[in-house]
Amino acid sequence: MTTMTATWTIEMRFEEDADHTRATAVLRTPNGRELHGHGQSWRNPVDRPVARIGEEVAGARALSNLAHELIDFAAGEIETNVARYPSR
């Protein structure tokens, strides 16, 4: 049995102001397609501003969104590459 390995790198980008954090997760697939996931977080006005927490929440949401984008992409790849047999 032959074992194959692959490494995919996800780039996380953040934009922040005092109360909001926006995150974008970017994945470049081996065939060159670029997928994006987006997430947001916002600080409750009564909470202390801790940028790290906003990044963690927005980042998690972006990764979750990216996972859905990747599943949709994979479904399209399956549809394109699955052998079609005539119905009997």
Number of compact structural domains in the chain = 1
Classify residue 86: in a domain, yes or no. no
The residue whose two tokens read 């995150």 is: 23
Tell me phi and psi for residue 85, to 5 degrees.
-110, 140
Classify residue 5: in a domain, yes or no. no
Q: What is the value of pTM for the model shown?
A: 0.83
The DSSP element (H or E) to which 34 belongs, if any, is strand 34-42
Q: Supply the CATH number for residue 65's domain.
A: 3.30.160.240
The DSSP element (H or E) to which 63 belongs, if any, is helix 51-81
> What pLDDT, on the 0 to 100 scale, is given for residue 72?
95
Classify residue 41: in a domain, yes or no. yes
> What pLDDT, on the 0 to 100 scale, is given for residue 1?
82
What number of H helices and E strands is found in the chain? Answer: 1, 3
- Please name which of 85, 84, 2, 74 lies closest in space to residue 35, comparing C-alpha atoms: 74
Classify residue 57: in a domain, yes or no. yes
Q: What is the pLDDT of residues 50-85, one digit of tens each?
A: 879 999 999 999 999 999 999 999 999 899 988 777
Q: What is the pLDDT of residues 9-55, one digit of tens each?
A: 999 999 999 899 999 999 998 878 899 999 999 998 898 888 799 99
